[in-house]
């Protein structure tokens, strides 16, 4: 098997997780570059027992690079096209290209063939969208989904390392009776819930909620699926959870749904109420699968289902999906 020259752009939580996954999954690497801002340049990170010095990102950084993982942020709009011009395939974790009609938006368990249409850039979907469509696709194939109502309960790590630190600092301060500050979030996040992720739009939805609406239609390849979302930040470190209500064209029972989902790629069904078994963020942390449970029929409509979906937002919700896209490119001999 050929080995590839790989670059990771961004050394935050997602970039670090991509680095970890490339080692875990024994990705075929010839040469690895770690690229970041000038502020991070010169620092060292470990990969396969060797120290790699982080370099400042420049257009020339992408010379001879085969695969460039952009881990989010402004670097995508600044350097993604430079990387493509120099021969790299870009797998981008930012929102910059997700709704561009010329850029595939890919979840390998859902729409793997979309990678074949890439023109140099492949977009990684939003974390909350990824885990939802992995769970929706098998149901859609079996019964055709008409409508989705989703409420998310999203971990603070989705907002970055400073958000994680803020939750820790606030929790410690409150427990010790000390004063605390709010810097990352507009309100206290410790012991609290915030129905506010990203900016609010004119239609009253947040940008995060509309990402789920628009990205789901594109990934599933069906503009007829109606999606409405409420996105909530919760004081959990890792693991996004979602309560999903689905209405289908064809009747599907809860038992049929369990069987379908248990046979689908990338899904683990945890659904045994007699033993209190259902997906939990603390159990999905550091896992690559999407966990589904609390599968039950909606008793208010003829063809409705409810389910509870949980996944590690840094892995399957970001880094794992990106690495899987790269593996798919290799498998399909597209690089």
Show which residues are catalytic: 127, 240
Indicate if the alpha-carbon torsion angle 277, 281, 283, 284 is positive or negative: positive
192 C-beta neighbours (distance < 10 Å), count: 13
Residue 125 DSSP one-character state: P
* Backbone angle region of 17, left / alpha / beta, with phi > 0 → left and psi within -120 to 50 → alpha: alpha
Note the Cα 33 to chain centre separation in Å.
23
The tokens for 46 are 């470990």
Which letter does DSSP use for residue 194 in this model? B
Asked if 122 and 277 count as a contact pair (C-beta separation under 8 A), the reply is no
For residues 252 and 303, what is the distance between their CA atoms, to the nearest angstrom? 7
Q: What share of the chain is helix, strand, coil (3-state, %, to 5)?
A: 35, 25, 40
Rounded Cα distance, 94 and 10, in Å: 11
What count of Cα atoms within 13 Å lies in the side-chain half-sphere of residue 219? 30
Coil, helix or strand at residue 328: helix
């Amino acid at each position: 098997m050929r080995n590839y020259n790989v670059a990771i752009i961004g050394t935050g939580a997602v970039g670090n997780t991509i680095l970890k996954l490339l080692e875990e999954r024994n990705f075929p690497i010839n040469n690895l570059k770690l690229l970041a801002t000038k502020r991070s340049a010169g620092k060292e990170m470990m990969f396969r027992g060797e120290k790699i010095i982080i370099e400042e990102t420049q257009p020339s950084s992408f010379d001879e690079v085969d695969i460039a993982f952009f881990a989010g942020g402004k670097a995508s709009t600044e350097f993604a096209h430079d990387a493509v011009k120099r021969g790299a395939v870009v797998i981008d974790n930012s929102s910059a290209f997700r709704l561009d009609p010329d850029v595939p938006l890919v979840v390998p368990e859902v729409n793997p063939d979309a990678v074949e249409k890439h023109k140099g850039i492949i977009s990684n979907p939003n974390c909350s969208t990824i885990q939802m469509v992995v769970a929706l696709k098998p149901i859609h194939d079996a019964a055709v989904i008409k409508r989705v109502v989703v409420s998310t309960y999203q971990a603070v790590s989705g907002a970055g390392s400073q958000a994680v630190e803020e939750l820790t600092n606030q929790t410690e301060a409150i427990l010790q009776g000390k004063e605390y500050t709010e810097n990352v979030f507009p309100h206290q996040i410790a012991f609290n819930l915030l129905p506010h992720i990203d900016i609010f739009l004119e239609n009253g939805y947040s940008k995060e909620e509309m990402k789920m609406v628009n990205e789901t239609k594109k990934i599933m390849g069906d503009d007829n699926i109606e999606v409405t979302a409420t996105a909530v930040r919760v004081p959990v470190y890792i693991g996004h959870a979602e309560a999903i209500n689905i209405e289908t064209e064809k009747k599907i029972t809860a038992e049929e749904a369990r069987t379908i989902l248990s046979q689908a790629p990338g899904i683990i069904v945890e659904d045994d109420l007699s033993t209190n078994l259902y997906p939990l963020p603390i159990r999905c942390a550091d896992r690559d699968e999407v966990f589904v449970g609390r599968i039950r029929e909606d008793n208010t409509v003829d063809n409705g289902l409810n389910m509870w979906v949980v996944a590690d937002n840094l892995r399957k919700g970001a880094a794992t999906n990106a690495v899987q896209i790269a593996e798919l490119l290799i498998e399909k001999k597209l690089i």
